[in-house]
Amino acid sequence: DAGVPEGGLRLAVDGDRLNSLVDPEDVTRVRREGDHIVEIGKGLEWYDGFDTGLFLATPGLFAALREAEAEGDTSLSGGVRRLAARGRALALEVGGGFWCDLDDEAALRRAEKALLARLRGKAHDGPVSRWLNRPLSIRLSRWLARLPVTPNQISLFSFGLSLAAAGLFMLGGYPALAAGGVLAQVASIVDGCDGEIARLKHLGSDYGGWLDAVLDRYADAFLLFGLTWHLLHAGGGDAALVAGFLAIVGSFLVSYTADKYDGLMRERGGSRFRIGRDVRVFAIFLGTVLDQVFAVLVLIAAVMNLETLRRLVVCRG
Amino acid sequence: DAGVPEGGLRLAVDGDRLNSLVDPEDVTRVRREGDHIVEIGKGLEWYDGFDTGLFLATPGLFAALREAEAEGDTSLSGGVRRLAARGRALALEVGGGFWCDLDDEAALRRAEKALLARLRGKAHDGPVSRWLNRPLSIRLSRWLARLPVTPNQISLFSFGLSLAAAGLFMLGGYPALAAGGVLAQVASIVDGCDGEIARLKHLGSDYGGWLDAVLDRYADAFLLFGLTWHLLHAGGGDAALVAGFLAIVGSFLVSYTADKYDGLMRERGGSRFRIGRDVRVFAIFLGTVLDQVFAVLVLIAAVMNLETLRRLVVCRG
C-alpha cells in the first residue's frame, strides 16, 4: 500500500516552481488541493507543481485513457484528468529531489552537468579537496560512471596506487621519490571518486564509507613509512626514525579523534578547522617533488600531534 | 518539582526484596499502593519494599513528627506514617540501584566489598584484563579511592608509566628491556583504575573515557616504537623496521575498527571475539622478559593486521 487510491493513481509532483532543470515550454503542470490533483496540463496558468512523469498507477488508468481517447484526447494527461475528476488522482510531493525530463541530447547534457555539480562541496572536504582534488575527481567520475565499477573497487584501486607510491619512495633516489609523490596525489584524487560514484549511482553504503576510511588509514601509514624508509636508507639515522614514527602516530590520532571532535564542533555550531588527509597527502606530494622528505615528516609530525593535543583541550573545555 | 506532594515527602524505596546488602533485622519496610506509601515500619509482615533512608521532604514532615511525638511515637517512621495516612507520602522505586545502610564497621566493610565487586566483569574486558589486570587494579582502586585523585589523573599517570617503559626499551640491553616490560604491564594494570575510580566515585564522563582511549593509542604506539628502536640498535635491520611498523599500524587499526565491529556484533547478538590492548601489552611483557622482541613484534603485526582483515570481511557479509 503506497497510498494509491483504488482504481486510480499517485503522481510524483515537484512543488519547486523555480526548478532550473525544468523546461517551461515542455513541462506538464499540476494544480492540487491538498493531496488531490484537480487540474493537469501543459497550458495551465494557475499551477503549484510540475508533473515529474513518475506514476504509481492501477489498471484504472487504462480505462480512463480509453475514455479520453473516445472523446478525442489521446494525451496521458487526458486520462489523469478523468481520474482526477473522480478524486482518484493523488500527488506525492518530491520537491528538492533530483529529477529531470530527458527528451533530447541537450537535456541529457544539462542533466549530467547538474548531477555532477551536486557532488561538489561535501561537508568534510578540506581545502586541497575543495580546490584541487574534487574538481579533478568529478571529471574522472563522469567517465567512471559509464563503467561497471563499484565504489568499493575504486577505494581498493586508490589504495593500490598509494601502496605503489610507497614502494616508489622505498626504491630510493630522487626520480622514484618524485614519481611516488605524484602517484600519491593521483591516488588521493582517485580516492574522491568512490564516494562520488556511490552518490551518482545511489550505491552509497555505511560499509563502503567505513572500508574507505580503514583503507585510507593504511594508505597514510604506508606512505609515511615509505618516506621514513627512504630517509633511513639515505643515512637519515635516528632523527628520521623518530620523525617518521611521530608523523605516522600523529596522522592516526587525528583520524582517531575526528569523530568526537567533529561531533562536538557540530553541537557548538562553531567553525570547523580541519586538517585532514587531503592536506597530508598534498604535503607529501610537495615534499617529495621538492626533495624535502625530512622536513615534510617533521612538519606532519608536528602539525598532527599538536592538532591532537589541541583537540584534547578543546573537547575538554 | 521532583514530584513531592505539597506538605509531604517522597521516599526512595527499594522493591528488590532479595537485596543481599539489606540487614533483615534492622531494615524499615514499606507497603505501597501505586506510588503511595500506605504502611511503614520495622515489623511489617506484608511489605513490598525497603526504606532506603533517602527522603525528599517538605517542612510538613516536621509538623507530622511533632504530632507523632505528642502521641508518644518518636520514630521517623511515625512522622511518615501520619503523612501516609493523608496520602502525602509517595515512594520512588530505586530497585537495582546501589544503596546500603551503614550502622557499624561490619556494614562498612560489606558495602566496600560490594562496591568493589561491581567493578568486575566490564563488558569489554579481554581475557588478560579479566584474569590478571582487573583483580589487581580493583585492589589498587580500593586504596586509590581514599586519595583525592581524579580518573583523568590516573589515565595520565598510567600513560607516563608506558612512556617510561618505552624509554627503558630504548636504553638497550636485557635488564632495561625486561624492566620496561614489567613496567608496561604495571601501566596496563594501573590503566584499569581510572574507570574503576570513575565508577566508584560517580565521576565517569564521556570525555574521560575518550581521553583514556586516545592516551592508550599513544601508549601502544610508543611501546611498540621502543621495541623497534631496541631491535634496530641491536642490529635488527630492515626486518625489525618492517615488523615494528606493521605492529604499530595493525594495533591502531584494531582500535580504529573496534567501534564498528563491536556495534555490528552487538546487533547480531553473536559472541564477541576480541583481541584488545590487554592481550597486546601482555604479549609485550612476555616478549621482553623472555628477550624475544622480534618474535613479539612479528606476532603482534600478524595477529592485529589479520584481525583487521577479518573484521573487514565479517562486517561486509
Report the CATH number that the domain containing residue B31 is assigned in CATH.
Answer: 3.90.550.10
| CATH number of the domain enclosing B304 | 1.20.120.1760
Same domain, B159 and B22: no
Q: How many domains does chain A have?
A: 2
* The Cα angle at residue B280 between residues B284 and A237, in degrees rounded to 5: 55
**Quick check: A89 and A83 in contact, CB under 8 A?**
yes
Query: What DSSP state is assigned to residue B5?
Result: P
The range of the structural domain enclosing residue B49 comes to 9-93
Query: Quick check: is A209 in a domain?
Result: yes
Same domain, B72 and B216: no
**Quick check: B235 and B242 in contact, CB under 8 A?**
no
Same domain, B47 and B165: no
Query: Quick check: is B31 in a domain?
Result: yes
Measured CA to CA, the distance from residue B46 to residue A193 in angstroms comes to 71
The residues that bridge with B55 in the sheet, in sequence order, are B11
**Quick check: B86 and B6 in contact, CB under 8 A?**
no
Give percent of chain B with pLDDT exceeding 70.
97
Q: Does A310 touch chain B (CB under 8 A)?
A: no
Pick the closest to residue B315 from B275, B246, B276, B267 (CA basis): B267
Same domain, B182 and B241: yes
Q: Say yes or no for a CB contact (<8 Å) between B256 and A255.
A: yes
Q: Does A309 touch chain B (CB under 8 A)?
A: no
pLDDT at B2 over 70: no
Q: What is the pLDDT of residue A133?
A: 94
Query: Quick check: is A116 in a domain?
Result: no
Query: Residue A211's closest chain B neighbor by CA?
Result: B312
Q: What is the pLDDT of residue A121?
A: 65
Query: Quick check: is B112 in a domain?
Result: no
**Quick check: B197 and B144 in contact, CB under 8 A?**
yes
Domain boundary among B93, B128, B144: B93
Q: In tens digits, what is the pLDDT along chain A, a chain of 317 residues? A: 568 999 999 999 999 988 888 888 889 999 999 999 999 999 899 999 999 999 999 999 999 999 999 999 999 999 999 999 999 999 999 987 888 888 889 888 888 888 888 888 666 788 899 899 999 999 999 999 999 999 999 999 999 999 999 999 999 999 999 999 999 999 999 999 999 999 888 888 999 999 999 999 999 999 999 999 999 999 999 999 999 999 999 999 999 999 888 888 778 776 666 778 999 999 999 999 999 999 999 999 999 999 999 999 988 87
Q: Does A207 touch chain B (CB under 8 A)?
A: yes
Query: Quick check: is A299 in a domain?
Result: yes
Pick the closest to residue B58 from B15, B9, B104, B112 (CA basis): B9
Element (H, E) at B102: none
Q: What is the pLDDT of residue B271?
A: 60
Chain B, 210 to 249: residues with Cβ < 8 Å from chain A are: 210-211, 213-214, 217-218, 221, 225, 229, 232, 241, 245, 248-249
Same domain, B168 and B80: no
Query: Quick check: is A213 in a domain?
Result: yes
Q: Say yes or no for a CB contact (<8 Å) between A260 and B210.
A: yes
Domain boundary among B78, B93, B108: B93
Same domain, A159 and A269: yes
Nine-digit cell string for B99: 544503596
Nine-digit cell string for B266: 552487538
- pLDDT bin (cut points 50, 70, 90) of residue B96 is confident
Same domain, A203 and A285: yes
**Closest partner residue to B257 among A214, A241, A252, by Cβ?**
A214
Nine-digit cell string for B12: 526512595
Same domain, A187 and A310: yes
Q: Which residue has the cell 496540463?
A: A41
Query: What DSSP state is assigned to residue B11?
Result: E
Domain boundary among B93, B111, B134: B93
Q: Say yes or no for a CB contact (<8 Å) between A221 and B257.
A: no
Query: What DSSP state is assigned to residue B40?
Result: E
The dihedrals phi and psi of B280, each to the nearest 5 degrees, come to -60, -50
Pairing of strands B49-57, A49-57: unpaired
Query: Quick check: is B105 in a domain?
Result: no
Pick the closest to residue B278 from B66, B133, B147 (CA basis): B133
Q: What is the CA radius of gyration of chain A?
A: 27
Q: What is the pLDDT of residue A1?
A: 52
Q: Does A253 touch chain B (CB under 8 A)?
A: yes
SS3 B214: helix
Same domain, A206 and A89: no
Same domain, B153 and B234: yes
Nine-digit cell string for B71: 502521641
Measured CA to CA, the distance from residue A10 to residue A90 in angstroms comes to 5
Q: Which of A14, A51, A191, A216 is catalytic?
A: A216
Element (H, E) at B87: none
Q: How far is CA A172 from CA A81, A184, B237, in A?
A: 75, 16, 17
- DSSP states of chain A: --SPPTT-EEEEEE--TT-TTS-TTTPPEEEEETTEEEEEESS-SS-SEEEEEEEEE-THHHHHHHHHHHTT--SHHHHHHHHHHTT-EEEEE-TTS------SHHHHHHHHHHHHHTTS--TT--HHIIIIIHHHHHHHHHHHTTS---HHHHHHHHHHHHHHHHHHHHH-SHHHHHHHHHHHHHHHHHHHHHHHHHHHTT---HHHHHHHHHHHHHHHHHHHHHHHHHHHHTT-HHHHHHHHHHHHHHHHHHHHTHHHHHHHHHHHT-------HHHHHHHHHHHHHTT-HHHHHHHHHHHHHHHHHHHHHHHH-
Q: What is the pLDDT of residue B132?
A: 93
Same domain, B197 and B235: yes
Q: Which residue has the cell 624508509?
A: A229
- Tens-digit pLDDT profile for residues B101-111: 888 898 888 88
Please report residues of A whose CB lies closer than 8 A to that of B218: 249, 253
- Tens-digit pLDDT profile for residues B280-294: 999 999 999 999 999
Q: What is the pLDDT of residue B273?
A: 63
Query: Quick check: is B111 in a domain?
Result: no
Same domain, B52 and B169: no
